[in-house]
Amino acid sequence: MGPLPETSNVLPVREYLLVALTAAVVTFLLVGLVRVLAFRIGAVAYPRQRDVHVKPMPRMGGLAMYGGVLGGMLLAHQLPVLRAAFDFSDDPWAVIAGGGVIVLVGVLDDRFELDSLTKLAGQVTSAGILVLFGLQWLFFWVPWGDGDGRGSLLVLDQNQGALLTVLLAVTMVNAMNFVDGLDGLAAGIGLIAATATCAFCIGVLAKNGGDVGSYPAALIAATLAGACLGFLPHNFNPARIFMGDSGSMLIGLMLAAAVTSASGKLNYRSIDGSGQSIETADLLGLLSPLLVVAAVLFVPMLDLLMAVVRRTRRGESPFSADKMHLHHRLLEIGHSQRRAVLLIYLWAGVLAFGAVALTLFDAAVVGWCLAIGLLLALLVSAIPRLREARRS
């Protein structure tokens, strides 16, 4: 492709907002049609012992979300400013192709309830499609390697980059799938995570003077944020439709794609003549994609890790279902469904936007704000237990 050109220093924030709004409107309008289709073909979630809902609920909401993503991508392709995301990168096409496969697998699961190995094969295939289109990790910073405390930049070969990309994508897909247990929970976390990732990408754009190499990641995050926003009114408590595995897996795949695309768009001008050592002043910038990954993944990954440990200790499969996820625990201590969802929104928002702010603003100020936000989230989460302790 050759070197990437630089665009005007005016950031295309309005264009990304327009793309996100388009994805939201398309998703919102498609949900009604998907709801009717789900009832007709039998893609319906009937209440089970571990479920919170008490009446049959249509699934396959991810199909409407994918339609919104396609609508946002189509608009971006027609906008002169954002067309560069398609002209100088195959990342958007990778998401369209990989997202189509993961949604197809999810729709089949929403209708026929596929076994875990079949779903895993579909997830790996979708992640592999991202790699085939060139959307993969190319560089990775580690805090060792040169003896002077500045760390080193690892240049990954095709196999290493592909393996890391597939591993991250499959992990995020399953983490979002695990966290989808209350009305509006996965859609809200997806919206928060995608918005924070988009904000990070636009911050990278500003630092790089509008380098179009940073456009695809922001576009992927913006379309995902719009799709989640358009689906949320139909899915927030009391929900009229579930996104199903087709939606939760799409969110996980697109978040992985956005973060992977953004991770290779760093300021490598700070690398010295050896091509390996990284200046300490740029350490936070090099770590910023990993910070965003960790923050975006924290709530769903904590839930996933706890579930795997819990089920393995009981001698069960890590993919077996139970009623001990984080949202179930919040319900047990006395929170309502809506309050439990809003609390998890609060945790996800504080962590995700706090990590992004650390990469863009003064670390000391942001650190204090982040600590206050986490303390507030902890206190609000513990209110039922505090009330119970006072009464006793």
In a domain, 312, yes or no: yes
269, amino acid identity: R
User: In this structure, which long-range contacts are made by residues 323-326, counting pairs with CB atoms below 8 Å and at least 24 apart in sequence?
Assistant: 323/49, 323/50, 325/178, 325/179, 325/181, 326/179, 326/299, 326/302
Measure the CA–CA gap between 250 and 227, rounded to whole angstroms: 10
Measure the CA–CA gap between 86 and 282, rounded to whole angstroms: 29
In a domain, 37, yes or no: yes
End-to-end CA distance of the chain: 69
In a domain, 4, yes or no: no
Domain that holds residue 330: 13-391
Q: Whose CA is closest to 320, among 331, 328, 311, 329?
A: 311
Environment class of 340 (CB within 10 Å of its CB; exposed 0-12, middle 13-18, buried 19+)? buried
Numbers of helices and strands, H then E, in the chain: 14, 4
The total number of structural domains that make up the chain: 1
In a domain, 3, yes or no: no
What is the torsion angle, in degrees rounded to the nearest 10, for the CA atoms of residue 287, residue 289, residue 295 and residue 297?
A: -130
In a domain, 5, yes or no: no
| pTM across the whole model | 0.82
**pLDDT tens, the chain, 392 aa long:** 444 444 455 689 999 999 999 999 999 999 999 999 999 999 998 876 555 555 788 999 999 999 999 999 999 999 999 998 999 899 999 999 999 999 999 999 999 989 989 999 999 999 999 999 999 988 766 666 555 555 566 778 889 889 999 998 998 898 888 777 778 888 998 998 899 888 888 887 887 777 787 799 999 999 999 999 999 999 998 889 999 999 999 999 999 999 888 875 554 444 344 444 344 334 444 455 556 556 656 666 666 676 666 667 777 665 555 555 565 566 666 567 777 788 888 877 887 788 778 777 776 777 788 788 878 877 777 776 666 666 66
Residue 270 is classified by DSSP as: G
In a domain, 7, yes or no: no
In a domain, 171, yes or no: yes
In a domain, 2, yes or no: no
Q: Whose CA is closest to 109, among 28, 173, 32?
A: 173
